[in-house]
A = this chain, B = another copy of it.
Amino acid sequence: MSTPERLIESTRELLWERGYVGTSPKAIQQRAGAGQGSMYHHFSGKPDLALAAIRRTAEELRAAAEERFAAPGTAVERVTAYLRREREVLKGCPIGRLTQDPDVMADPVLRAPVDETFAWLRARIADVLAEGRDRGELDAGLDPADTASTVVAVLQGGYVLARAAGSEEPFRRAVDGVLGLLAAHTTTGHRAD
């Protein structure tokens, strides 16, 4: 890995483990095995590195999601595959967790990729659901945009409930519940799984 890559990866790990305020430039340099001069050669400082780290995490999240949305199958099958994909439930969502980092939320530049990621997810799921409705898989009464926000909220809230319980069980139930609700809107009335 190149030095800028190592610096970005170290910043991602530290942001995850310690949050923005707990991530010092020195700790980033030490973990990356890079000197101070090298860090400031590639990045203007901690905010610049944090932005690169958050963007990288957001890109990975989008790519993993898009893999399910672009797969063949009905709208409900694709949303089901997205909701059921393997996740480290008790660790939580690396993007969702940033909404609880006061320093990230207070900085419009650092908040932007967090906001954009959720806006993209909601819009992309709305597209998938609208496609399903247009194809006659889902009934005309379903609101794609509202339902997409519900799907994303179920995941993010499922992580909160799992952490509170110290168990993946409430996350799984919340996902099963929204898929059960969605099943009543399919023209066949069957669950996708």
- A→B interface (CB under 8 Å): 95-100, 105, 111, 114-115, 117-119, 122, 139, 141-143, 145-161, 163-166, 170-171, 173-174, 176-178, 180-185
Contacts and interface: CB of A to CB of B under 8 A. Distances in A.
Say whether chain A's binding surface is mostly helix, strand, loop, or mixed. helix
Contacts of A165: 115, 118-119
B177 A185 contact: no
Contacts of A122: 161, 170, 173
Contacts of A100: 97, 100, 163
A89 to B, nearest CB: 12
Contact of A149 (B147, B152, B153, B173): B173
B157 A158 contact: yes
Given A115-B166, A154-B157, A146 B176 contact: yes
Contact of A181 (B145, B147, B176): B147
A163 B153 CA distance: 12
B153 A118 contact: no
Contact of A180 (B146, B163, B174, B177): B146
30 contacts: A97-B100, A99-B160, A100-B163, A105-B163, A114-B164, A115-B164, A117-B164, A118-B161, A118-B170, A141-B184, A143-B177, A149-B158, A149-B161, A149-B176, A149-B177, A150-B174, A150-B177, A150-B181, A153-B154, A153-B155, A153-B160, A153-B161, A153-B170, A153-B177, A156-B157, A156-B160, A156-B161, A157-B157, A178-B181, A181-B184
